[in-house]
């Protein structure tokens, strides 16, 4: 397992991060512990969760993911693990989280951190991330900024000041962002530099063969500001495995929860997937191997977030992450990308 420095932090994280958003919904506590055990044995030291997990988020299950991770952490060498979690942003009606309405002000950030620490059963969180911005911006499949959707939100310097207090208290070690855009990342950087506050060390955004928007917008920002990408949805919600091309499995996530499919419902997704699947098979790879190896090959990636709904799937994905693509395959990938550019932004 390769280890990489996360942004400007002192964190050394495995090149693969275990995503846990299915723990407590599609995966039981025993399932989750089995995945965590196997990943740890393979050298994975980085675990990512969120206060709203599992998904789809419901009052009955919210927080179960952190509790499952927390019960596994008991008796483990905490100092050898990097635990990340996230605070839920506003803009969605989730009254069961912190009593609602959600915000990213000082009181909400502090309450969210305290709740996560309690569920995780730990004294500190290594990487604390804002799950999505407080302000109006396109995300989760939206691709056009709409000024008419403006709404009040906590200013970014105030969000960072609240997080800085918790860093000073030792409750969180480093700060990260998620589902962010260049303007937001730079506002956090400017506030940190101007006010002497913690710099963000990572941004967790969707990145895969169907969504390479990061390369056009955030890659330069993150390179120059030394911020690592933590890519999620690297298999395009399973589409890049090819399993949705014909007879999708009954237990597949989009079969069980079709509402998650909006991002991948555009007409150009299917032909793009077909092209990548055909490319993988021409080179003797599974489609998942091609998709994971592509993400792992990018120099701006700090750690690739891999989630699974079964131990067998996790084993397959971890093995696929070790595949190295040669320049000819990467060139063929770019040819397909230019034909089907970002069909699922």
Q: Write out the chain in H/E/C secondary structure.
A: CCEEECCCCCCEEECEEEECCCECCCECHHHHHHHHHHHHHCCCCEEECCCCCCCCCCCCCCCHHHHHHHHHHCCCCHHHCEEEEEECCCCCCCCCCCCCCCCCCHHHHHHHHHHHHHHHCCCCEEEEEECCCCCCCCCCCCCCCCHHHCCCCCCHHHHHHHHHHHHHCCCEEEEEEECCCHHHHHHHHHHHHHHCCCCEEEEECECECCECHHHHHCHHHHHHHCCEECCECCCCCCHHHCCCCCCCCCCCHHHHCHHHHHHHCCCCHHHHHHHHHHHHHHCCCCHHHHHHHHHHCCCCECCEEECCCCHHHHHHHHHHCCCCCCHHHHHHHHHHHHHCCCCCC
**Distance in angstroms (rounded) separating the CA atoms of residues 294 and 289:** 8
Query: Are 177 and 187 a contacting pair, CB within 8 Å?
Result: no
Q: Which of 3, 53, 207, 276 is catalytic?
A: 53
**Distance in angstroms (rounded) separating the CA atoms of residues 276 and 211:** 13
Q: Is 53 a catalytic residue?
A: yes
85, exposed or middle or buried, with CB in 10 Å at 0-12, 13-18, 19+?
Answer: buried
Beta bridge partners of 172: 125
Residues annotated catalytic, as ranges = 53
């Amino acid at each position: 397992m390769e280890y990489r420095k996360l942004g400007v932090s002192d964190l050394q994280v495995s090149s693969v991060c275990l995503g846990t958003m299915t723990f407590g919904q599609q995966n039981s506590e025993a399932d989750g512990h089995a995945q965590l055990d196997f990943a740890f044995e393979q050298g994975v030291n980085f675990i990512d969760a969120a206060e709203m997990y599992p998904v789809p988020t419901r009052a009955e299950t919210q927080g179960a993911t952190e509790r499952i991770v927390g019960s596994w952490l008991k008796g483990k060498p905490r100092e050898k693990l990097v635990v990340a979690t996230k605070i839920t942003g506003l803009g969605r009606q989730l009254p069961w989280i912190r009593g609602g309405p959600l915000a990213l002000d000082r009181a909400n950030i502090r309450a969210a951190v305290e709740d996560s620490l309690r569920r995780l059963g730990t004294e500190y969180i290594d990487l604390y991330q804002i799950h999505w911005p407080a302000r109006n911006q396109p995300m989760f499949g939206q691709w056009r900024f709409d000024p008419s959707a403006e709404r009040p939100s906590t200013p970014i310097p105030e969000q960072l000041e609240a997080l800085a207090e918790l860093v000073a208290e030792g409750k969180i070690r480093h700060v990260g962002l998620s589902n962010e855009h260049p303007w937001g990342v730079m506002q956090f950087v400017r506030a940190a530099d101007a006010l002497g506050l913690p710099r963000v060390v990572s941004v967790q955004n969707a990145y895969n063969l169907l969504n390479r928007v990061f390369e056009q917008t955030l890659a330069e920002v993150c390179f120059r500001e030394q911020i690592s990408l933590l890519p999620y949805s690297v298999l395009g919600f399973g589409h890049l495995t090819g399993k949705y091309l014909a007879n999708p499995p009954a237990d597949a996530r989009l079969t069980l929860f079709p509402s998650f499919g909006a991002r991948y419902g555009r007409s150009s997704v299917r032909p793009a997937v077909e092209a990548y699947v055909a490319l993988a098979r021409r080179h003797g790879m599974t489609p998942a191997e091609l998709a994971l190896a592509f993400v792992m090959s990018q120099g701006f990636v700090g750690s690739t977030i891999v989630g699974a709904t079964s131990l067998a799937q996790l084993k397959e994905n971890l093995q696929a992450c070790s595949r190295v693509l040669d320049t000819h395959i990467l060139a063929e990938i770019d040819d397909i990308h230019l034909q089907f550019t970002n069909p699922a932004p």
